[in-house]
Structure 1
Amino acid sequence: MRRTQGVFGTLLAGSLAVGFLAGAPAQAATTTTTQLSVSASDDAYTSAARKSLITGSETKLVAGTLAGDRKVSYLKFTTGKAATGATLTLALDGAPAGSTLTVTRVLTNSWAESTLTSVNAPAPGTTAVSAKLAAGQREVSFDLGAQVRAAGTYSFAVSSNSTTAVTRIHSTEHGTAGLRPALRLTVPGTAAPSTPVTTTPATGCKTGAKLVPTCGVLWGAAAGGFTDTPRDIALKQWEAATGRTAAIYHTYHKGNELFPTKAEIAMTQDAAKPRTLLLNWKVAYGTTWAAVAAGKQDARIDRWSAYVKANFSKQFFLALHHEPENDVEERAGSGMTAKDYAAMYRHVIKRLRANGVTNAVNVLAYMGNETYLAKSWWPDLYPGDDVVDWIGLDSYLNAEKGYHHGDFDNLLDRGPVAGTDKLGFYGWATTKHPGKPVMVAEWGVYHSLKRTADKGAIFDTVLSQLKARPAVKAMVYFDCPADDTGDRNIAVTSSASSLAAFKKIAADPIFNVSLK
């Protein structure tokens, strides 16, 4: 189903702020509050009597007890902005008069409508808001302003005290958009001053220290994955199809390979199409993270250092063993624990610096997967702010209903992260490591090879939600017609409508960033 966040209107408030125009005197601007409506990314109900019942695709939610069967509904919302007020509105399709409907905060977001049952349903917390229902009532609202404040993901359980009847609520699958559950947010904003100011990046956006853009977002891609097409040729074909040069060219290497290759270097020397490199390196290939941290692959690191210094002087991004969660072995002594990864990362970066490799800007690229984010060892992966330049995220969305189906906010802020109770990935990165730029080092929208699903509905959510996440400074699409599982198409050209929607993203001025 399509999840969208739309602006309902702007309400003027009475206070004033000061705005500035380049080359013009300061002008007064009016502080505003903007009303945003956020749709549920997941909603479903559980049945105590039918413990394996899955209801994520149904057009109604249910709360209450009938014939001894207690039903509880669950909703999940992801917000892209901090809010000063929040109201949950539910459209009703039958409710027992005099019953009380209660909305309770659920402290974990690690559930999905496609798998939710009464057996695995998350336990509600203690923070609740209730409303008594009248006969014939068609809508009910709950003030959640005390609970929904920071940008992030929020889950709620909806229950009824009725033991003889149930309340039916229209779900996000309902055919009428106006009857779907909505979390309406009040967010602070600023009205335009008397002289209009453009909302697109200025023409002077460029990369600064550590390749962080002074404004705007770097645009990039890895194309031709899992095909026989040379990656440089695949990228040029992708650029021609999408209408924009990829400022970041993403490639992958391992072990004793020496890179960037001649072909990769050549891609950075095209004056008409300026690019930088994002080079992925599995330093510990053929051994373990612990062995690298202990210095047993120093010869490999030193050899690569000498090669880079002799062959490539431009700044580039370096990702060490992206998506490490996939390879963690929790067993002590495995050499591949989360702490072993952090130690490996620190050792490699410090040795590269000692070797005089000063043009590498390192990126720690995590996976956007709730299962790993919830692991107790996940925080142990982080090697320290002193050796991390950018925090990266590899995350994908499913164009078909089910696992990881959702909007761009869902891609960015899955969670919660272990030990934080409520922070999704973006919330964790910006709260725990403020000032670190965020790179979406791999992202994509996929569907099964067995059928073609329109990716356009998800692509249409990207720009507005990206612009609400200012810490994101780079986005790198991973494009391939069939991934390593052999079952997922991640290509933007999978249909004409998907490509058209993606080209709208690529054409946005936010990506007009010059490489210095």
Structure 2
Amino acid sequence: MPIAALAIGAGVGTAVFTGNAGAETTDVVRTGAAEDGYSSSSRPTYNFGASDTLVAGRQGGDTMVTYLKFKVTDPGTGVKVKGAQVTLNRESRTFPASISLSKVADTAWTEKGLTGKNKPKVGSVVTTVKPKSGATSVTFDVSSVVKGAGTYTFAVTSTVANSPARFRSAEATAGQPTLALTVLRPTTTKPTTPATTAPATPTSPATPTSPTSPTSPATPTSPATEPTGTPPGDCTVDAKLVPSCGVLWGAAAGGFSDVPRDEALKTFERKTGRTSTVYHTYHKGDELFPTKSEIAMTNDPANPRVLMLNWKVAYGTKWANVAAGDQDARIDRLSNYLKTNYTKKFFMVLHHEPENDVNPTAGSGMTAKDYAAMFRHTALRMRANGVDNAVFVVAYMNYEKWNNSTWWGDLYPGDDVVDWVGVDTYNNAQPGGFHYGDFNYMMNRTTDKAKFPGWYTWATTNHPSKPIMVAEWGVYDSSPTVVGKNKADVYATVLPQLAMMPQIKGMVYFETAKDQNGHDIRMDDTPEALAGFQKIAADPRFTVKI
């Protein structure tokens, strides 16, 4: 999945910093390619923008050039970019003995329009590397070019005869191209323990305090007094999969890896000690789903599960085109497949984290209003086609810069087509690090309450009738040396603070050993982390019958 801006966790983030300007911390922030593709001299009219493979080098009389475009947003006030590296992962075969990366002045090219006839001119060589033939990846130092915010385009070439390099593209399921920035950040004030009193009413909760805590997230109450869930067997779901009590528990396991998702989920369940009632998977374009393996996971009588299926219906086109009906054949095809192959209730997330793909320019086809129109059109057409088992979820990013933007409010498609309001949100367990905090901070962080009060507060204030789905959540530790206690401390805040947020009706953990930013979001990267996570999973409030 292309990530077009600086990313934190599975979302994207740029910080506004306060505190001691004299103190700095080092961090590595990665962004994926906004556009990528390759040209072929022997196939000058071909476009390879949708391919999951990039090729660079010579084969017979064919010369192929890989093009990469990265969009780097402002890394934040006082942040210094100290270095930058582009990494490409090998797709197949061995690497040639020499690969070069060059500047490209033209930034207007697009992966959907790139061909051998119109390919941009390759500029001066930035660096040449000589990888081992069996290496799994190759890294180019672009520190001399990437100094801060901007759009950067590069060409990858090789003059070695009959030994082209093959890389994984942004369309691959794992190992996409990345641009890693090494940055120095001013040390921030550390998050505080939030208020522990419950909101006056479920629809208008007390605004939790801004995270400014001393050395670690809030310490949970003792097991004797900690709020616990309803005893097993008492909670069921209604027609919209909203639990009568308790909270749905789920996971998207094995992200950014080659492990089959059903296998990864079963491993996750075995380690955590609880069935993931919600099984989250991802699809795009013309893919038909749920797949046979996904359906099989819902037919396990000993471990009942409900699917959460993310679909990027506009893959290969624009939101405005979907809203205009250009992809109705795609929508109808999936609708017919669902009616024939899957009649159980399931969650349908339409293009999660849309903020990252918004182009606010009028007429771009990718404005926030275009997203809302795409969502509405897709949901209404599926319903008109007789798909009555889809429960529609809109899933935001919880990234402060987007939340503060003037267009963010335009993303919401409307209460009539949204069944659940969802959010993808991640925390850093490194004390004092960027996005460090407890569970309350994860759900309600803000840089300016006057612009945006915090995501949970916004959701419960503006959509009090809608259940909240934490569609992706996770914790990583950016410490130079990972400390097992750090994640455990964050996990320890989840249960007591979840009790203060009664509108949350579902929580789905995103588990991966390495996301687009290099963050380890596994719940078991240390024994202390696993023990802390197992305490969350064991809570009876997550025992809900479906």
Q: Distance in 2 between matches of 1:251 and 1:398?
A: 24
SS at match of 1:306: helix
Kindly indicate whether residue 485 of structure 2 is the aligned counterpart of residue 427 of structure 1.
no
Question: Counterparts of 1:507 and 1:199 in 2: how far apart (Å)?
Answer: 10
| Alignment CA distance shift 1:325-1:150 (3 Å) | same
2:279 aligns to what SS in structure 1?
strand
* Residues 191 and 213 in structure 2, CA contact (< 8 A), matched pair in contact too: no
C-alpha contact (below 8 Å) 1:449/1:488 kept by paired residues: no
2:438 corresponds to: 407
Of 242, 264, 269, the residue aligned with 1:239 is 269
Counterpart in the other structure of 2:285: 255
Deviations 1:94-138 (A, max 9, x none): xxxxxxxxxxxxxxxxxxxxxxxxxxxxxxxxxxxxxxxxxxxxx
Superposed, 1:167-182 pairs within 5 Å as: 172-173=213-214
Q: Counterparts in 2 of 1:43-62, with a 5 A limit?
A: 45=19, 52-54=21-23
Give the 5 Å matches for 1:482-493.
482-485=514-517, 487-493=518-524
SS of equivalent residue, structure 1 residue 371? helix
1:510 aligns with 2:538: no
Residues 137-195 of structure 1: per-residue CA shift (max 9 Å, x gap): xxxxxxxxxxxx95224459xxxxxxxxxxxxxx9547xx9xx9x9xxxxxxxxxxxxx
Deviation at 1:414, TM superposition (A): 2.2
**1:77 shift after superposition:** 6.5
Given candidates 406, 412, 420, the residue that maps to 1:390 is 420
Choose the corresponding residue for 1:200, options 215, 226, 229.
229
TM-score, with length taken from structure 2:
0.61
- 1:465 matched to which residue of 2? 497
Are residues 263 and 75 of structure 1, via their aligned partners in 2, closer, same or farther at CA, if it must alter by over 3 Å? closer
Alpha-carbon distance, 1:79 to partner: 3.8
Match of 1:370 in 2: 400
Contact 1:399 1:446 in 2 (8 A): yes
Q: Sort the Cα spacing of 1:338 and 1:491 in 2 relative to 1 into closer, same or farther, 3 A.
A: same
**Cα deviation code 1:442-465 (max 9, x no counterpart):** 000012496323310100000000
Q: Which residue of 2 aligns with 1:501?
A: 532
CA distance in 2, matches of 1:75, 1:467: 20
Uncovered stretches (5+) of structure 2, i.e. residues with no partner:
1-15, 27-188, 219-226
User: What letter matches 2:545 in structure 1?
Assistant: S
Distance 1:259 1:380, change over 3 A: same
Q: Cα 1:468–1:155, aligned 2, differ >3 Å: closer, same or farther?
A: closer
SS at match of 1:430: helix
Q: 1:303 to 1:269 in 2, by over 3 A?
A: same
Q: Which amino acid aligns with 1:413?
A: N
Read off the aligned partner of 2:230 and give its amino acid letter: P
**Which secondary structure does the structure 1 equivalent of 2:470 belong to?**
strand
1:151 equivalent to 2:151? Answer: no
Structure 1 residues 471, 451: closer, same or farther in 2, change over 3 A? same
Aligned-residue offset at 1:467: 1.1
Instruction: Determine which of 362, 382, 388 is the counterpart of 1:332.
Output: 362
Aligned-residue offset at 1:53: 3.1
Match of 2:375 in 1: 345
* Cα distance change on mapping 1:257 and 1:80 into 2, 3 Å: farther
C-alpha displacement of 1:207 = 1.0
Contact 1:76 1:153 in 2 (8 A): no
Q: Is the 8 A contact 2:228 2:540 kept in 1?
A: no
The residue matched to 1:331 in structure 2 has which SS? coil
Match of 1:302 in 2: 332
Provide, for residues 227-270 of structure 1, a one-character-per-residue CA deviation record: whole Å limited to 9, x for no partner. Answer: 11100000001100100000000000000000000000000000
Amino acid at match of 1:53: G
Q: In structure 2, what residue type is equivalent to 1:201? A: T
- 1:9-40 Cα offsets, whole Å, 9 max, x none, are xxxxxxxxxxxxxxxxxxxxxxxxxxxxxxxx
Q: Do 2:193 and 2:213's aligned partners in 1 also have CA atoms closer than 8 Å?
A: no
SS of 2:314's equivalent in the other structure is coil
Aligned residues: 356
Structure 1 unaligned regions, length at least 5: 1-41, 47-51, 58-72, 85-148, 157-170, 183-197
**Cα distance in 2 for residues equivalent to 1:467 and 1:75:** 20
What TM-score, normalized to structure 1? Answer: 0.64
Higher strand share: 1
SS for the counterpart of 2:416 is helix
Q: 1:82 to 1:236 in 2, by over 3 A?
A: closer
The root-mean-square deviation of aligned C-alpha atoms, in Å, is 3.0
Q: Greater Rg, structure 1 or structure 2?
A: 1
Find the aligned partners of 1:240 and 1:82 in 2 and give their Cα distance.
33
1:478 to 510, 530, 541: 510
Kept in 2: contact 1:242–1:503 (CA 8 A) = yes
1:457 maps to amino acid: D
Q: Counterpart in 1 of 2:342?
A: 312
Alpha-carbon distance between aligned partners in 2 of 1:228 and 1:299, rounded to the nearest angstrom: 31
CA 1:479–1:155 in 2, change beyond 3 Å: closer, same or farther? closer
Distance (whole Å) between structure 2 residues aligned to residue 269 and residue 237 of structure 1: 18
Higher RCO by CA contacts (8 Å cutoff, separation 6 or greater)? 2
Residue 423 of structure 1, CA deviation: 2.0
The 1:465–1:449 alpha-carbon spacing in structure 2 relative to 1, beyond 3 Å, is closer
Residue in structure 2 matching 1:222, options 249, 252, 255: 252
